[in-house]
Amino acid sequence: MADVKKVAFITGGNRGIGLQTARELGQGGFEVIIGVRDPKKGEAALTELRAAGVKAEVVLYDASRPETDQTVKSYFESRYGKLDVLVNNAGMIREELLAKNASNVPGDILRETFETNLFAVVRLTQTLLPLLKKSPAGRIVNVSSILGSLGLHSADDSPIAPAKAFAYNASKAALNAFTVHLADELKGTHVKVNSAHPGWVKTELGGPHAPMELADSARTSVRLATLAADGPSGGFFHENDRLPW
């Protein structure tokens, strides 16, 4: 079994925010393992990470294939016997952000979005939780979105009022509910669970008009992944700011 102090698993870690998160955690002393659907893209990401001085490996993980959850668990059991950080970064959107489509969103889009953004996250987290409990400082980061904030959506002066893509927004609100419930269940343990809003970032998902650069995109996830023992659990954050549910 490898002698490593800290190990982190980042889903969807071969590009965008996931890759930046892997880079920063790796440069902060973690050995990072990125979960990818496409091995070729995974190898390209590894080349980039290793060039940045990051100790990294890749493992097959596909949110649409539940059997890969066990592949990931077996990998960490055999190599490390624990997991220190899980960043549930993989996600998807199939709508226009300005869709305003609650009255007519197709059922297949609703189901596919929830399968990836909620059900797969819950399933993987449940699978890996025994390994996280073996860490002296287990951290779970659920990469959510400010668009999952019901408090902001319903506010009279809402800054996110136009962005009403129902399937995506509802899936992130449900993910936030998972954060709250799991954090409550894990009180008294060494495992902390928080939701992260990375910001509107120039990525394939965020598009070219987003105001945040990719270099700043991992700041929230990295902070929550490296919280001290007296840090928060069961919160929803963007950088140092707590967001309304």
Active site residues: 168
Q: How far is CA 47 from the centre of its chain?
A: 22
Amino acid found at 186: L
> β-strands 56-60, 192-196: how paired?
unpaired
**CB-based contacts of 28, cutoff 8 Å, min separation 6:** 222, 226
Number of neighbouring beta carbons within 10 Å of residue 102? 12
Buried b / exposed e along 12-46 (16+ C-beta atoms within 10 A): bbbbbbbbbbbbbbbeeebbbbbbbbeeeebebbb
Half-sphere CA count of 238, side-chain side, radius 13 A: 17
> β-strands 236-238, 241-242: how paired?
antiparallel
Residue 37 vs residues 123, 140, 169, 171, 207: alpha-carbon distances, Å: 17, 21, 24, 21, 22
Cα–Cα distance, 90 to 17 (Å, whole number)? 9
Cα–Cα distance, 148 to 153 (Å, whole number)? 8
